[in-house]
Amino acid sequence: MRRVILFLTIYFISVKTHGQVVWNLDSCVQYATQNNTSILQASLRIRAVRAQMQQSSARRVPSLSFDNNIGWQGGRSIDPTLNTYTNTNLVFQNLGLQSGITLFNWFSISNTILAEKKNVESSVLDLEKLKNDISLNIAAAYLQVLLSNEKIEISKKQIQLTSGQLETTQLLFNQGRQTQANVLQLQAQLSRDSTIYFDSMLNDYQSNANLLKLLGIGPEQQIKISREVPEKSILNIMEMQPETIYQIALTNQPLQKENAVKLKEFEYRIKAAKAAQYPTLSANAGIGSNFANTFRDALGRPIPYGQQLFNNNFQQSFYLSLNVPIFYNKQLKTNYKLAQSEYNNQQLTIVNNNLELKHKIYAAYKNVLNSWNRYQSMKNSLSQLQEAFELEKISFNTGNTPLVSFLNLGNTLFQAQTDKITSYYEYIFSMRILEHYQKIN
């Protein structure tokens, strides 16, 4: 057991002294937003969605293709220049340039492009939401690290207090003014205090490991955390009501913005799917030519390559195409119904997300008030307990108070110190949540 305790002590000291740069909350958030893998993946998704939008926009531009076929044919076949049957072996070449453009399709392409633009905007807002969520998670982990440090300091002071009392009691026992039973009980209390201390050290390691994980840093690369925490005044929150905060959050939260953008996107997709059920008018044009080494003029002389391509066999074409969808195995109609279903589902999603947002804001508001009141109450209680403990200590050393009463009051004082600092950090984090919803920096 002693070896385990010694190992944890050495490891804890090595962790706390590693690294020279001091990280505060803002630097942790900034690092995470630049290096977190989830954020980097979301950025890649934006690039993919933007590329898809650009591809949809390109449908407005005419298509253009070129083909060139060179080959040999023999036996009974059709002469590519005379379009007659021949049994002569020949070398041939076919050249063609074609272009086409959609003239009108009931704005299906236009609505698809608008939908893709909204999809890009939605992806950007999704990235912003992810950054906000990670920032809150970083804040919670960061404050947990600070809380674990505070608990370690409280545990150290408790050990010092018990050790001092044990020395005093041992001295009184040697003078015949205290019993050996009291000395043994204080030794047992010191062991319990030491156990709490090492548990606090382990909890501190786990808190730091969780923060490093969120930052995307390996456990072998420890960082030094600043202990400074900006305290917010409760008066600022008392001037705000949860319903007011909720109305602000509806307009500034990325999720609510994203929901509105998605609803517009699905509206455009409905229009695009409906337009796809109507006829499409297209225009097509092309030029082409061919060459065959068997092609001869009226005197039987071979016609030159360039003359065949640009004179004798050169051709042009232009035509309009009307595509009328009659029966596509209900594919077009099904696409239209699916688009309507996505739109209706998004409307319900907005209602659900807004309700969830309201519950979170009201809960955070209550948590701020409750944690602040608990913190103030524990401050007053702790002051009184400390005074009572000093009096109880004097009374115990003079033999007027039993050890059990003294130890109980000491444990109550230790718990009050822990509850006070816990309430303080709960208040700080709850304030951070409300600031997040109000976009207060």
C-alpha 164/C-alpha 29 separation (Å) is 42
Is there a single domain that holds both residue 312 and residue 368?
no
Q: Which amino acid is at 163?
A: S
Q: Are residues 274 and 205 in the same domain?
A: yes
Give the pLDDT confidence score for residue 441 in this predicted structure: 43
**Mean pLDDT, range 241-248, rounded to an integer:** 91
Domain boundary among 267, 301, 324: 324
What confidence score (pLDDT) does residue 3 get? 40
Rounded mean pLDDT of 380-396?
Answer: 85
Range of lowest pLDDT (74-88, 154-168, 410-424): 74-88
State whether 259 and 236 are in the same domain: yes
| Residue after which a domain boundary falls, among 324, 358, 386 | 324
Residue 398 pLDDT grade (very low, low, confident, very high; cuts 50, 70, 90) = confident
Last residue of some domain: 324, 340, 355? 324
**Are 88 and 197 part of one and the same domain?**
no
Query: Tell me, what amino acid is at 398?
Result: T
Nearest Cα neighbor of 404 from 194, 202, 189, 205 is 189
Number of domains making up the chain: 2
Q: Is residue 385 part of a domain?
A: yes
Q: Which residue has better confidence, 106 or 81?
A: 106
The whole-number pLDDT of residue 7 equals 41
Query: CA of 345: how far to CAs of 59, 111, 199, 350, in Å?
Result: 29, 20, 49, 9
Amino acid identity, residue 312?
A: N
Copy the structure tokens of residue 137: 């998670």
pLDDT score of 279: 94
Give the phi and the psi of residue 139 in degrees, each rounded to 5.
Answer: -60, -45
97's enclosing H/E stretch is: strand 90-104
**pLDDT at residue 9 greater than cutoff 50:** no
What is the mean pLDDT of the segment spanning 274-286?
A: 94
In a domain, 69, yes or no: yes
Considering the domain boundaries, does residue 7 fall inside one?
no
328 or 317, which is more confident?
317
Q: Does residue 18 carry a pLDDT above 50?
A: no
What pLDDT score does 181 carry? Answer: 87
> What average pLDDT does the structure give for the chain?
86
Of the two residues 81 and 191, the one the predictor is more confident about is 191
Residue 206 included in any domain: yes
- What is the spatial distance between Cα 147 and Cα 161, in angstroms, rounded to a whole number? 21
Residue 130 has pLDDT above 90, yes or no: yes
Alpha-carbon span 234 to 257, nearest angstrom: 29
168 and 230 co-located in one domain: yes
Residue 92: what are its φ and ψ, rounded to 5°? -130, 165
* Domain CATH for 113: 1.20.1600.10
Same domain, 286 and 340: no
Distance, CA of 103 to CA of 354 (rounded, Å): 43
**CA torsion through residues 297, 303, 307, 308, sign:** positive
Mean pLDDT within 104-118: 93
Is residue 11 included in any domain, yes or no? no
How much is the average pLDDT of 91-95?
90
Residue 330: exposed, middle, or buried by beta-carbon count in 10 A (0-12, 13-18, 19+)? exposed
Model pTM score: 0.79
Asked whether residue 5 is assigned to any structural domain, the reply reads no
315-323 sheet: strands from edge to edge: 63-73, 90-104, 280-292, 315-323
SS3 state at 93:
strand
Q: Could you tell me which residues come within 8 angstroms of residue 325 by beta carbon, excluding any fewer than 6 positions away?
A: 276, 277, 278, 279, 332
Residues 312 and 181 placed together within one structural domain of the fold: no
Q: Using 50, 70 and 90 to split pLDDT, how confident is the model at 6?
A: very low
Q: In this structure, are 30 and 144 located in the same domain?
A: yes
198 and 291 housed in the same domain: no
Specify burial of residue 176 (Cβ count, 10 A radius: 0-12, 13-18, 19+).
exposed
User: Mean pLDDT: which of 86-90, 156-160, 281-285 is highest?
Assistant: 281-285
Average pLDDT over residues 376-397: 85
The answer to whether residue 118 scores a pLDDT higher than 80 is yes
- Whether residue 166 lies inside any domain: the answer is yes
Return the pLDDT at 10.
41
* Residue 162 and residue 189 in contact, taking contact as beta carbons nearer than 8 Å: yes
Is the pLDDT score of 383 beyond 70?
yes
Q: Are residues 133 and 248 in the same domain?
A: yes
Which CB contacts under 8 angstroms, 24+ apart, belong to 398-404? 399/177, 399/178, 403/181, 403/182, 403/185, 403/186
Tally Cβ neighbours within 10 Å of residue 205. 18
Same domain assignment for residues 29 and 92 = no
Alpha helices in 175-308 (DSSP H): 180-215, 234-238, 242-252, 254-275, 305-307
Residues 243, 390, single domain; the answer is yes
Percent of the chain with pLDDT strictly greater than 70: 91
Instruction: Assess contact for 405 and 182: CB atoms under 8 A.
Output: no
In a domain, 378, yes or no: yes
301: DSSP letter: P
Does residue 177 carry a pLDDT above 90?
Answer: no
Q: How far is the CA of 149 from the CAs of 203, 423, 431, in angstroms? A: 9, 15, 21
Domain extent, residue 208, equals 16-61+105-278+327-438
Percentage of the chain lying above the pLDDT 90 cut:
46
Q: Which residues contact 75 (CB under 8 A, 6 or more apart)?
A: 87
